[in-house]
Amino acid sequence: MKKVLLLLLGILFGLLVMELFARLTIPLHREFYLGLNNKYGEEIEREANSLGFRDFKHEFKKPEGVKRILVVGDSIAAGWGVRFNQTFARQLEKKFKNVEVIVLARPGWDAMKEIATIEELGMKFAPDLIIIGYCLNDPIDPRDLLRFYRKMAYKKPEGINKFFFEHSMLFRFIWKISQDERVKREFIKCMEKIHTDKYRGWKETIDAYNKLRKITEEKHIPVIVVLFPSLDFSFEHYPFLRVHRRVESLMKAEGFIFVDLLPYLKKYKNTQLVADEIDRHPNKIVHSLVADILYDIIVKKHLLQ
């Protein structure tokens, strides 16, 4: 009986030591991987202009002698995870003289919404160049959104697991590890599925970019599409190369200038490029790099001449 008691005390002491070590070394607060960091969403809303976009106010009438770049996209183009002046749109504008960069971007937008906004609102600004940020989840049909994200979400602990999750850093760490692989597998399956010919969201994405080509061809407006890779995966074993090639084929078929950021980001670890330990949106390093890449393309190809 005494040996059993000593064994139990030893196990308890070992768990306490591991718990202390976890609290000192692992930054997993209770919301880690259980939800998106909403502080960035609040910042985007607070800095929105009268049209509801995180940008300065712009008049529809173009000032004389000024060229206009239209930046369209979702939360990345809106700058989720970085300060207002750190977004690639604002940094790009600072590199030019007499160039106005107008942002039409909102978290959660897909390709269909983005291109509909270009047609209905963006063209009123008489842009000389359009830049679109493409994210891997763009083709997700809104009707599938909840179902897909439920599969890709980290499960919230219930019952006794919830108690331990609330009170033990060690348990949170173990819980996270138990969820990681399942979530990554589901994410990979989802991104691959939504870029197949059978998926209606991909068909609608193709139709949307085809419409954009017709709109911009008519007015001789060049288009740059920037593909942002997923920062959830190591670049050494990146699982979406086939998806990237699929997107590249679409954009080149439509005659757009295509920029895949993956080769530019490979000199970093993916963990160096995220907004914080919770949020996997690109940080200021990525935005600064995108601004530099876009500036070089615009100048070399004389897109604003």
Instruction: Note the pLDDT of residue 2.
Output: 66
Instruction: Note the pLDDT of residue 24.
Output: 58
Residue located via tokens 């976009």: 53
Contacts of 126 (CB under 8 A, 6+ apart): 60, 62, 68
pLDDT cut 90: percent of the chain above it: 66
Instruction: Note the pLDDT of residue 163.
Output: 80
Q: What is the mean pLDDT of residues 182-199?
A: 93
Higher pLDDT, 20 or 104: 104
The pLDDT confidence band at residue 142, using thresholds 50, 70 and 90, is confident
Instruction: Note the pLDDT of residue 168.
Output: 74
Higher pLDDT, 224 or 166: 224
The pLDDT confidence band at residue 22, using thresholds 50, 70 and 90, is low
pLDDT of 3 over the 80 cut: no
Instruction: Note the pLDDT of residue 7.
Output: 64
Q: In what order do the strands lie in the sheet with 67-73?
A: 99-105, 67-73, 129-135, 223-228, 257-260
Q: What is the mean pLDDT of residues 210-222?
A: 96
Between β-strands 257-260 and 223-228, what pairing exists: parallel, antiparallel or unpaired?
A: parallel
pLDDT of 42 over the 90 cut: no
pLDDT of 225 over the 90 cut: yes
Instruction: Note the pLDDT of residue 32.
Output: 52
Radius of gyration of the chain (CA): 23
Altogether, the residues listed in the chain come to a count of: 305
User: Is the Cα dihedral 103, 42, 113, 73 positive or negative?
Assistant: positive
* Residue spans per domain, the chain: 31-141+194-300
Higher pLDDT, 28 or 304: 304
pLDDT of 301 over the 60 cut: yes
pLDDT digits 0-9 by tens, 228-286: 999 999 999 999 999 999 999 999 999 999 999 999 999 999 999 998 777 789 999 99
Q: What is the mean pLDDT of residues 206-222?
A: 96
| Per-residue tokens: 278 | 């919770």
CA separation for the pair 121, 114 (Å, rounded): 10
Most confident region among 24-28, 148-152, 265-269 by mean pLDDT? 265-269
Residue 143 φ/ψ, nearest 5 degrees: -70, -20
The pLDDT confidence band at residue 21, using thresholds 50, 70 and 90, is low
Lowest mean pLDDT among 21-30, 52-61, 143-152, 237-246: 21-30
Output the furthest CA–CA distance in the chain (Å, rounded): 91
pLDDT digits 0-9 by tens, 87-137: 999 999 999 999 999 999 999 899 999 999 999 999 999 999 999 999 999
Q: Which CATH superfamily is domain 31-141+194-300 in?
A: SGNH hydrolase (3.40.50.1110)
Instruction: Note the pLDDT of residue 152.
Output: 73
Please state at what angle helix 241-253 crosses helix 169-193, rounded to 10 degrees. Answer: 40
Instruction: Note the pLDDT of residue 5.
Output: 67
